């Protein structure tokens, strides 16, 4: 119990205290196209504080700004070079998702997904300067971690044995690992700094408080309700939520299920927590939500009502009415056929009597989750990319270390550092 309290305190204190900023790039490749609107074979995007700042997909074939300030402040050259870079990353993924499928002994029956995420998180110091906090460079396959870079040891970490070959290969070229560390700790932070200046107005003033709802619906289990606590429309995404019974937070062992923080389609976020309770339960339930935009946490009391219970009752009543009416009609028909009844107008009105229950949906606005249209639909995975720094043939049969050094030299000349995601991690030859 003590441990729980400490844990809760920790969770409570974590959001909002220090000012942190993040810049991440996420690339998602499918092993084959799927015929779904908004889902592309390859998608790439930049995210600053979890907001999209740029976007590319295999159908669009262009890197485009997703924030006005990105469009205004970055020259055409940035988007041209960025487009080239994304195109070669797309090729890299095409090749490497197949290599991985082979290694995992997966065939082409199902769609498989390779993702790469790289980026940095910084703290804003009292004097306004940014300090590197953490760096991410990780690949995932079908939503599971495949390989990730440890900035401190400058080594790749392989959580699955199929990734060992890649780890060995990449760790074999330490200069590339130094480069990766440098990108995460320095280059990424510099770009983040630049973007913060550019987008000054968009960061800070756009903090939005959550709207909080507490409601209950019928549960699939007889005699029970599904009590839901929902917060939506907030930004940034760090939030604390509890379903409380008589003021005491319920936890996982009590059957609380959380959706986790999900994106809305308007750059805000939502979260829902649910717990099943007995219909006869007369305890006080409320929904406790804290967010950095709030001086005091919001506590939304559940009114003890069930939104869709009358609907079910109404449907049952309606069904009974219909059955009774049908029997009546049948009886009348039989009587009429037997010549015992002459008045056929006896069919009562009200065959359509099943009343329409009011819509009990209390989900509020903006609950569409952005899984399509480039949202990060799958957990992170990553993949190394050539990033357009080499010609497609350059890796063939050459010494990969030599080539890596060549890559890095190009970088030092600054000719390819024109994009914030110009990072290359593969050793220049076969990739993964
Ligand atoms: C592909 O893999 C699935 C699942 O392992 C298997 O059921 C199926 O028979 C395989 N198909 C082919 C063509 O090998």
Domains of the chain are: 3-205 (3.30.500.10), 211-291 (2.60.40.10)
Q: Could you tell which of 31, 109, 112, 142 is best to mutate to test the pocket of ligand 1, judged by most ligand atoms within 8 Å of the CB?
A: 109
Q: What is the distance in A from the centroid of ligand 1 to the CA of 246?
A: 53
Dump pLDDT digits (tens) for 310-339: 765 556 555 655 555 565 656 566 555 665
Residue 352, ligand 1, Cβ within 6 A: no
Residue 105, ligand 1, Cβ within 6 A: no
Report the nearest atom of ligand 1 relative to the CA of 106: 2
Q: What is the distance in A from the centroid of ligand 1 to the CA of 99?
A: 17
Q: What is the distance in A from the centroid of ligand 1 to the CA of 106?
A: 8
Ligand 1 atom 8 nearest Cα:
109
pTM of the model: 0.58
Mean pLDDT by 10 residues, the chain (432 residues): 42 52 97 94 96 96 96 96 96 96 96 98 89 97 97 97 96 94 96 91 73 93 92 91 95 93 86 94 94 94 89 59 59 60 42 35 32 33 34 31 38 52 58 87
Ligand 1 atom 12 nearest Cα:
107
Residue 108, ligand 1, Cβ within 6 A: no
Residue 109, ligand 1, Cβ within 6 A: yes
Q: What is the distance in A from the centroid of ligand 1 to the CA of 112?
A: 13
Report d(CA 174, CA 170) in Å as an integer: 8
Report the nearest atom of ligand 1 relative to the CA of 108: 1
Ligand 1 atom 7 nearest Cα:
109
Ligand 1 atom 9 nearest Cα:
109
pLDDT of residue 416: 45
pLDDT of residue 75: 96
Report d(CA 77, CA 194) in Å as an integer: 17
Other Cβ atoms within 10 Å of 249 Cβ, number? 14
Q: What is the distance in A from the centroid of ligand 1 to the CA of 39?
A: 24
Dump pLDDT digits (tens) for 287-306: 999 998 999 999 999 999 99
pLDDT of residue 265: 80
Residue 107, ligand 1, Cβ within 6 A: yes
């Amino acid at each position: 119990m003590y441990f729980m309290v400490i844990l809760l305190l920790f969770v409570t204190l974590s959001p909002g205290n220090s000012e942190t900023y993040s810049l991440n790039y996420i690339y998602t490749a499918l092993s084959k196209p799927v015929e779904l609107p908004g889902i592309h074979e390859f998608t790439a995007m930049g995210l600053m504080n979890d907001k999209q700042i740029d976007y590319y997909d295999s159908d669009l074939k262009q890197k485009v700004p997703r924030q006005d300030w990105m469009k205004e402040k970055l020259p055409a050259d940035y988007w041209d070079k960025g487009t080239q870079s994304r195109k070669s990353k797309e090729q890299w993924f095409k090749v490497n998702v197949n290599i991985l499928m082979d290694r995992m002994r997966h065939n082409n029956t199902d769609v498989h997904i390779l993702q790469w995420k790289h980026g940095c998180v910084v703290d804003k110091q009292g004097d306004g300067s940014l300090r590197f906090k953490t760096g991410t460079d990780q690949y995932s396959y079908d939503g599971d971690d495949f390989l990730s870079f440890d900035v401190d040891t400058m080594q790749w970490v392989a959580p699955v044995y199929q990734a060992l070959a890649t780890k060995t290969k990449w760790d074999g070229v330490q200069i590339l690992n130094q480069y990766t560390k440098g990108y995460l700790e320095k280059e990424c932070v510099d770009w983040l700094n630049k973007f913060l200046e550019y987008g000054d107005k968009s960061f800070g003033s756009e903090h939005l408080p959550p709207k909080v709802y507490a409601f209950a619906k019928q549960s699939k289990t007889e005699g029970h309700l599904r009590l839901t606590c929902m917060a939506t429309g907030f930004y940034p995404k760090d939030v604390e939520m509890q379903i409380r019974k008589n003021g005491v937070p319920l936890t996982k062992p009590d059957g609380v299920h959380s959706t986790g923080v999900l994106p809305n389609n308007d750059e805000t976020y939502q979260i829902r927590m649910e717990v099943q309770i007995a219909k006869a339960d007369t305890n006080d339930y409320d929904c406790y939500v804290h967010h950095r935009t709030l001086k005091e946490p919001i506590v939304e009391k559940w009114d003890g009502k069930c939104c869709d219970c009358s609907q079910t009752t109404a449907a049952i009543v309606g069904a009974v009415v219909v059955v009774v009416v049908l029997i009546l009609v049948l009886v009348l028909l039989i009587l009429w056929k037997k010549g015992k009844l002459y008045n056929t107008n006896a069919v009562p009105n009200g065959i359509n009597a099943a009343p329409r229950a009011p819509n009990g949906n209390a989900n509020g606005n903006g609950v569409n989750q952005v899984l399509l249209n480039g949202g990060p639909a799958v957990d992170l995975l990553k993949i190394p990319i050539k990033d357009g720094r080499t010609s497609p043939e350059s890796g063939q049969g050459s010494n990969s270390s030599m080539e890596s050094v060549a890559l890095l030299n190009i970088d030092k000349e600054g000719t390819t550092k024109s994009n914030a995601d110009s990072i290359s991690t593969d050793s220049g030859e076969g990739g993964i």
